[in-house]
Amino acid sequence: MAEDNVIYVGDKKPMNYVLATITQFNEEDSDEVILKARGGAISTAVDAAEITRNRFLTEVDIQDITTKTEELEDEEGGTSNVSAIEITLGMSE
């Protein structure tokens, strides 16, 4: 899967990511788009996926959801665990 179809979700409002997702489906003629988020941004990614599916692109379904724990190095040189999610949206057939 090309990295072009990945949207990294951060601390912006969900509608920013909804617009990015819609744009990705329309401009790139993509069959699927992946929303990736970590930590507190996970709920924003879920909101963006659901708003996209239910309000704007009703022909889009959730193809896959992957959760994992990523180990990140903190400022003190130690590590901390952060939850992460990947939501794959795709055109229904």
Dig out the tokens for 17 from the structure: 């990511």
Assign residue 39 a region: left if phi > 0, alpha if psi is -120 to 50, beta otherwise?
left
> What pTM was estimated for this model as a whole?
0.91
| Domain extent at residue 83 | 3-91
**How many Å apart are CA 7 and CA 81, to the nearest integer?**
22
pLDDT of res. 1: 47
CATH number of domain containing 28 = 3.30.110.20
| Structural domain count, the chain | 1
Dig out the tokens for 34 from the structure: 């992946």
Residue 13 has pLDDT above 70, yes or no: yes
Per residue in 27-85, pLDDT tens?
867 789 999 999 999 999 999 999 999 999 999 999 999 999 999 998 888 999 999 99
Number of Cβ within 10 Å of residue 42's Cβ equals: 19
